[in-house]
Amino acid sequence: MTAAAESTLTLDRRFARELAELAVPWQAEEAPAPELLVFNEALAADLGLDPAYLRSPEGVRLLVGNHVPDGATPVAQAYAGHQFGGYSPLLGDGRALLLGEVTDRRGRIRDIHLKGSGRTPFARAGDGRAVVGPMLREYLVSEAMHALGIPTTRSLAVVATGRQVRREGMLPGAVLTRVAGSHLRVGSFQYARATENFGLLRRLADHAIARHYPDAAEAENPYLELFRSVVSAQASLVARWMLVGFVHGVMNTDNMTISGETIDYGPCAFMDAFNPGAVFSSIDVSGRYAYANQPVLAEWNLARLAEAMLPLIDEDQEKAVTPAVEALGAFRGQYSAAWSGGMRAKLGIADAAAGDEAASAVVDGAIAILKDGPVDYTLFFRNLGKAARGDVRPVRGMVLDLAAFDSWVAQWQALGPDQELMDSVNPAYIPRNHLVEEALAAATGGDLDLVNRLLEAVTEPFTERPGLERYAEGAPEDFGSYMTFCGT
């Protein structure tokens, strides 16, 4: 390692400094034989980090938390959270560490965070570890989401630790190095509120404003404005999930960010056939976080955030409730506008005026066809783009009720759909469940070729490329009903 390489990495400790009550200084567990499995060269460059250094033995030790640059203070973050509706007053990073912050090439502050770096004081019964499959899964899905233009935490690297971890059997351990605008969660505010330390709650809100919504500082009531900003960011985020068919799977308040980034990819999945009730997580037995419930549950989580923020909104709690409820009330309209606008873009009719009845009827008709199903959600829109170019066969071949479809297509075509717009918003490649599973199984056995190939497809999702045909196809018929497990 050269001094020059080292000097490219300075980690700030802004969170640890400003919010010490939420930060427990901690060290990562020693990885016996760290080996870099995947590395995000482009992201490293965006962060102003030296890729060659991060690939070096010391750089890889840094990526698992075993080499701590001078001046850095890794911390486990404290937070609370409603998990499946039940409140846990103390969750926190049980197996994760915030290494510190960097300023990226665009001048933005970014957290560098580890997942799977060993037990912390918040570990409860957990072993503090993570395994190769689920960490590569987060890497693949988060990078796919980013490429789809959806706000998300990013993945810088997955490093195998060289340690076997007990799950159902023994599996190879790994650490994910994650990058985020911040790791502030709804649960961070719940935790701060529960301490009854008003100064802490206010510092947390000020920190969130400075990092994510600096304009709120100028508002008449900056904290109310912060809440409004989070409501808007989440309304837009969840609309984007819905538009690509993404099911987060575990939308607990500790897994919802203040920044509006998607976070904590666990039992998530993209649905294949359109199904409002789609649930993939084995632990979501009641279907609380089913596809169609996501906007409702996001709003529920935001109500929990409002409760935590009430003392900031007005000293008089009675007086705080009305503006908080009003601010939360904006969620539905913002969500609907974001979803409708996005759906019109998917159908190539974004130019239609908001109140245009013909356009609304075409959107409703498309949803009716999907519901009539089973129709692969992603392929339906991609093939519809081909119909806009004159070849209606691929999409027509997907539906059962041809008469209904033909009359809908005529209505749609009368609006002059924009083919290019459609191809720029309807992905050809998403991390489909069968593709993710085959790639992770191979990687767990030591072969990363399929992970790399899938990454190649999903990180450029809108441009169909020769050689990637099987990545654009729907799930094989024998794939059956897919389940994801929280054994992350």
Catalytic residues: 254
Token pair for 250:
């575990």
Q: Which does 127 bind (CB under 5 to 8 A by kind): Mg ion, ligand AMP, none?
A: ligand AMP
Three-state secondary-structure class, residue 257: strand
Partner residues linked to 401 by β-bridges: none
Residue 352 touches ligand AMP, criterion: CB under 6 A: no
Partner residues linked to 67 by β-bridges: none
290-313 burial: b if 16+ Cβ within 10 Å, else e = bbebbbebbbebbebbbebbbbbb
CA–CA distance, 328 with 321 (Å, rounded to integer) = 10
Residue 58 touches ligand AMP, criterion: CB under 6 A: no
Site for ligand AMP in 369-428 (CB under 6 A): none
Residue 283 touches ligand AMP, criterion: CB under 6 A: no
237-270 burial: b if 16+ Cβ within 10 Å, else e = bbbbbbbbbbbbbbbbbbbbbbbbbbbbbbbbbb
Residue 94 touches ligand AMP, criterion: CB under 6 A: yes
Contact yes or no for 41/47 (Cβ under 8 A): no
Residue 95 touches ligand AMP, criterion: CB under 6 A: yes
Residue 264 touches ligand AMP, criterion: CB under 6 A: yes
Q: In whole angstroms, how close is the CB of 263 to Mg ion at the nearest point? A: 7
Q: Which does 93 bind (CB under 5 to 8 A by kind): Mg ion, ligand AMP, none?
A: ligand AMP
Q: In whole angstroms, how close is the CB of 187 to ligand AMP at the nearest point? A: 9
Token pair for 141:
């899905």
Site for ligand AMP in 117-156 (CB under 6 A): 122-123, 126-129
Residue 304 touches ligand AMP, criterion: CB under 6 A: no
Residue 264 touches Mg ion, criterion: CB under 5 A: yes
Q: Which does 266 bind (CB under 5 to 8 A by kind): Mg ion, ligand AMP, none?
A: ligand AMP
Q: Pick the closer one to Mg ion by CB: 119 or 434.
A: 119
Q: Which does 250 bind (CB under 5 to 8 A by kind): ligand AMP, Mg ion, none?
A: ligand AMP
Q: Which does 128 bind (CB under 5 to 8 A by kind): Mg ion, ligand AMP, none?
A: ligand AMP
Residue 174 touches ligand AMP, criterion: CB under 6 A: no
Residue 255 touches Mg ion, criterion: CB under 5 A: yes
CA–CA distance, 38 with 448 (Å, rounded to integer) = 8
CA–CA distance, 16 with 418 (Å, rounded to integer) = 49
Q: Rule CB under 6 A: choose which of 34, 74, 92, 181 binds ligand AMP.
A: 92
Distances (CA, A) of 45 to 17, 35, 40, 111, 235: 27, 21, 9, 15, 31
Q: In whole angstroms, how close is the CB of 130 to ligand AMP at the nearest point? A: 7
Instruction: Name which of 243, 253, 251 is nearest 344 in CA terms.
Output: 243
CA–CA distance, 111 with 153 (Å, rounded to integer) = 9
User: Given the rule CB under 6 A, which of 86-94, 133-141, 355-363, 461-469 is the region that contacts ligand AMP?
Assistant: 86-94
Q: Write out the residues near Mg ion by the rule CB under 5 A.
A: 255, 264
Q: Write out the residues near ligand AMP by the rule CB under 6 A.
A: 91-96, 122-123, 126-129, 250, 254-255, 264, 266, 488
